Amino acid sequence: MSASDLQSAPSAQEAAPPRPAWQVLLIRPETMTLALLVLAVFAGAWLSPFFLDISYILRSFTLYAEFAIVALVLTMVIIAGEIDLSPAANMALSACVFAWLQQAGLPVPAAVAVGLAAGLAMGAFNGLMVIGLQLPSIIVTIGTLTLYRGLAQIIAGDKSIRVPEWFIGVDKIMVLGVPLPVVIFIVLALALGFLLSRTIVGRQIYQIGTNEVAARHAGIRSARIKFGLFLAVGLVSATAGMMTASRLGSVRYDLGLGGELQMVLMAMLGGTYIFGGRGTILGTFLAAWLLVLVSTGMIVANVLPAVQLVVLGILLVVSIIATNFIYSRTQR
C-alpha R_g of the chain = 21
Distance CA 60, CA 275 (A): 31
Question: Which one of 34-42, 119-127, 226-234, 293-301 is the stretch in contact with other proteins (CB under 8 A)?
Answer: 293-301
The least distance separating other proteins from the CB of residue 311, rounded to whole angstroms, comes to 12
Which DSSP state fits 164? Answer: -
Contact pick of 305, 328, 329, 331 for other proteins (by CB under 8 A): 305
Q: Using the rule CB under 8 A, is 10 a contact of other proteins?
A: no
Contact pick of 31, 103, 160, 210 for other proteins (by CB under 8 A): 160
- The backbone region for 209, taken as left when phi is positive above 0, alpha when psi lies in -120 to 50, beta otherwise, is alpha
Contact pick of 195, 250, 274, 324 for other proteins (by CB under 8 A): 250
The least distance separating other proteins from the CB of residue 163, rounded to whole angstroms, comes to 10
Q: Using the rule CB under 8 A, is 300 a contact of other proteins?
A: yes
Confirm if 327 and 278 have CB atoms less than 8 A apart.
Answer: yes
Q: Which of residues 116-155 bind other proteins (CB under 8 A)?
A: none
Distance CA 251, CA 158 (A): 11
Q: Using the rule CB under 8 A, is 159 a contact of other proteins?
A: yes
Q: Using the rule CB under 8 A, is 59 a contact of other proteins?
A: yes
Distance CA 118, CA 329 (A): 44
Confirm if 288 and 185 have CB atoms less than 8 A apart.
Answer: yes
The least distance separating other proteins from the CB of residue 3, rounded to whole angstroms, comes to 51
- Which sign, positive or negative, has the C-alpha torsion 223, 273, 187, 203? positive
Residue ranges in contact with other proteins by CB under 8 A = 48, 50, 53, 56, 59-60, 63, 157-160, 162, 168-169, 247-250, 252, 254-255, 257-258, 295-296, 299-300, 302, 304-306, 308-309
